[in-house]
Amino acid sequence: MDTKELLKKVRKIEIKTRRLSDHIFGGEYHSTFKGRGMTFSEVRQYQFGDDVRSIDWNVTARYNEPYVKIFEEERELTMMLVVDVSGSEMFGTTNQFKNEIVTEISATLAFSALQNNDKVGLILFSDEVELFIPPKKGKTHILRIIRELLEFKPKSNKTDIGEALKYLTNVMKKKAIVFVLSDFIASDYERTLKITGNKHDVTGIRVYDEREEGIPNLGMVQMMDAESGKLKLVNTQSKKIRNSYAEFHRERVNYFKETFTKSGCGVLDCRVDESYVKKLLGFFKRRG
């Protein structure tokens, strides 16, 4: 992708997702993810209806009239986007690939955080951590994240969610809002997720295509494993093969949902041909 085309794509995603975060998600995000607590702001004269427990007795005695302490929420938070860039993300049978939806969701979340003056960071992973962008504020930083999501070429096509979570736990010393975006066609990350979930506010967003749920009966078909790159001739007429694949897929989905739920983490499903806007709004409203 040349620079001109890349900038055009970045701008297109910015316009679409910025509008969503400004008009829809900004307030929902703010009410869903609270700050770290209340911090002292100022002292002002007592007004009718103020809580008497907030009276500052030292200032009141000095000026011989009641003054109260004003506190405000300490808002600044950190959001980490942990994004799967393995080979299986380059799949889609309708209008968009999974990785394109992942980019739009990530951008919407990032602009929602930007609107609330929060920091945003990025981890791109396959079976290793491919890229880490430390959390920062500002529109320029968000646009860099979008550029990386659009053009990054991973070294590996395989997936290891546990490795990404382990890295996150090591680099993020303070509590963060974490969104893990993947198709979650993986396993063996339960122990690591439990540790991560105890430290951070974690939500798994599963982005998938309906065609991944089962193989249609199309006769003999040559198929390629997106993560290994191996080609294989598959007899899709075989009911046993179709049932075996469907069962494998169900096991992975159930593992994702059960593991995240047991670890106290959020779960969100987004199919590529459905509105992720409705899914995100529903999630924020349930959390709020």
Note the pLDDT tens digit of each residue in 182-211.
999 888 999 999 999 999 999 999 999 887
Which residue has better confidence, 162 or 286? 162
Beta bridge partners of 178: 80, 202
Q: 232 CB contacts (<8 Å, ≥6 apart)? A: 222, 223, 224, 225
**pTM over 0.85, yes/no:** no
Q: Judge whether residue 90 has pLDDT over 60.
A: no
Q: What is the mean pLDDT of residues 1-20?
A: 71
Span 3-32+75-287 CATH architecture? 3-Layer(aba) Sandwich (3.40)
Radius of gyration, CA atoms only, the chain: 23
Domain ranges of the chain: 3-32+75-287, 37-74
Q: What is the mean pLDDT of residues 107-128?
A: 91
> Which tens digits make up the pLDDT trace of 214-226?
677 777 777 666 6
- 207: three-class secondary structure by DSSP: strand
- Tell me which of 36-40, 65-69, 198-202 is least confident: 36-40
Q: Judge whether residue 92 has pLDDT over 80.
A: no
Distance of alpha carbon 275 from its chain centroid, rounded? 16
CA-closest candidate to residue 132, choices 183, 100, 85:
85
pLDDT band at 94 (very low <50, low <70, confident <90, very high): low
pLDDT band at 93 (very low <50, low <70, confident <90, very high): low
Q: Judge whether residue 87 has pLDDT over 80.
A: no
Q: What share of the chain is helix, strand, coil (3-state, %, to 5)?
A: 45, 25, 30
pLDDT band at 112 (very low <50, low <70, confident <90, very high): confident
What is the rounded CA–CA span in Å between residue 192 and residue 145?
Answer: 25
pLDDT band at 25 (very low <50, low <70, confident <90, very high): low
Give the H/E segment covering residue 149. helix 139-151
pLDDT exceeding 70 applies to what percent of the chain?
Answer: 82
**Residue 36 vs residues 31, 33, 81, 111, 158: alpha-carbon distances, Å:** 13, 10, 20, 20, 37
